[in-house]
Structure formats: C-alpha cells, structure tokens
Structure 1
Amino acid sequence: MRNTMEIGGYRAIIQFDPDIEMFRGEFVGLNGGADFYARDVAGLKREGAASLKVFLDMCEEDGVEPRRRYSGRFNSRIPSELHANAAAEGKSLNQWVTDTLGDRVAPGMA
C-alpha cells in the first residue's frame, strides 16, 4: 500500500506524525517545498489543494517551472547474471531495467 494522494495532477506522500497526531502531506516532484497537515482525508484534500495553489501562484509570479525536471539517468552496477537475463529476453540492459522498475514501482508506465 502506497501512502500517496493525487491533488490537482500532483502527487503527495502522506505520513502520520504521532507527535502532533496529524497526517502530513508533502508534494513530490516540485521545484520547491509544499506540504500540508490535517487530521483526516477530507482535510488532507482541502489543505493539499490550498498548499498547492499557493505554491503554483508563487511559481507563476516568479516565472519558475513548478515541476522538477529529472534527467532520467541512472547509473548502477549489477551482477553479471542480471545483465545476462536482459540479453536472454532480447532486451538491452536499459530496457530491461526500465521494464522491471516500471512493473514494480509504477505499473503501466514502462
């Protein structure tokens, strides 16, 4: 189970903060920080929308792209057996890793 919520086309990670007995949401993939707190799901949606609006308005005022750009590059050393698995499936190592991560992290995106 992923503790995420989508608000206005942006994804937020939701965690419970036992010190204040509230849920905390934090938008990911932004060029800055935007978080919000609430005691329930309805509150998270409401506060998340308000936080996102403030963030997006500030970005527009400053002429900043709200979404962080990712290079898409990933360097890793893997066991030769995994490289061989990719070749056995007739795929490049890059395509095999992309497919495998896509199946695990975000089904349907690879």
Structure 2
Amino acid sequence: MADNLEHEGYFGSVEYSSRDGLLHGKVIGINDLVSYEGTSVKELKEAFEGSVDHYLETCKELGKEPNRFYRGGFNIRTSSEIHRELSIMAERKKMKLNELVNKAFDYLVKNEDKVLNQNKVEQ
C-alpha cells in the first residue's frame, strides 16, 4: 500500500497540514479513531507504531476485537451503461454478474499499483 505506514498488520494514512506544518494520519481498517502526528517522517512513523501498539493493548485489556468487521457486501453505484455492459459480459461468459465483479476486484487487489497508476496517466 503506497504512501501508507504499516505496523503489526495495520495501515495508517499519511497527510500533511501546511497550516500546522505537521504530518498526521489515522489508523485505517478499524472501528475506532486512532490518530498520530509528527514533525518528521521518522517522528510520524514512531507515533504511528506507538499508537497501534497502545490501541492493541487497550483492546486486549477491554476484551474488544480491534479489527473492523467486514460483511463482504456493499453497494456499488455506476452508470446504467456500465451496468449494462457488465451484465452482457457476464452473460457471454456464462457467469453471474457478482462473480464477474469479484474477478475484477481480485485483479485490482493483486495489481493495485499497475491499475491505479495507469488511471492517473490516462486522466
């Protein structure tokens, strides 16, 4: 995951505030808000790691699951044209639309940088 911090299997965002002159971020993929800040990359990384460790310790003490629960289902909004094209594609391949979309998601997850960087160039 580019431009993110990683520690103990958790990821953190990296943002810059020109108003404060600080780097800051939050742990992503959890139900709670855990944030951190620093004046340098080294300080930000140390603050992130300390925040993750403290969060995990607190969850353990409280007997709380630290990770966000993902059901595996969510709504996707797209244009009627894309919906139509995907439905036709799925039928041609003798697949359910859900199966086709999941294959696309699998490809995106495995090729994140390639796919997302390609889109930046095309825009």
1:65 matched to 2:79: no
Could you list the structure 1 runs, at least 4 aligned residues long, displaced by more than 6 angstroms after superposition. Answer: none
| Map of 2:75 onto structure 1 | 75
Q: Provide the residue aligned with 2:120 in structure 1.
A: none
State the TM-score, normalized to the length of structure 2: 0.74
C-alpha distance in 2 between matches for 1:9 and 1:87: 38
**Structure with a larger share of its residues in helix:** 2
Provide the identity percentage: 27
Q: Tell me, which stretches of 5 or more residues in structure 2 are unaligned?
A: 113-123
Gapped runs of 5+ residues in structure 1? none
Residue 110 of structure 2 corresponds to which residue in structure 1? 107
Residue 5 to residue 95, structure 1, CA distance change in 2 (3 Å): farther
| Matched ranges for 1:39-58 at <5 A | 39-58=39-58
**Residues 7-66 of structure 1: CA deviation (Å, up to 9, x unaligned):** 121011211112211111211111311111113322222111111111111111111000
Superposed CA RMSD: 2.2
User: What is the count of residue pairs matched by the alignment?
Assistant: 108
8 Å contact from structure 1 (residues 12, 26) kept in 2 = yes
Higher mean alpha-carbon deviation, 90-99 vs 23-32, is at 90-99
**Match for 2:90: what amino acid?**
A
Who is 1:34 aligned against?
34
Q: Partner residue of 2:96? A: 92
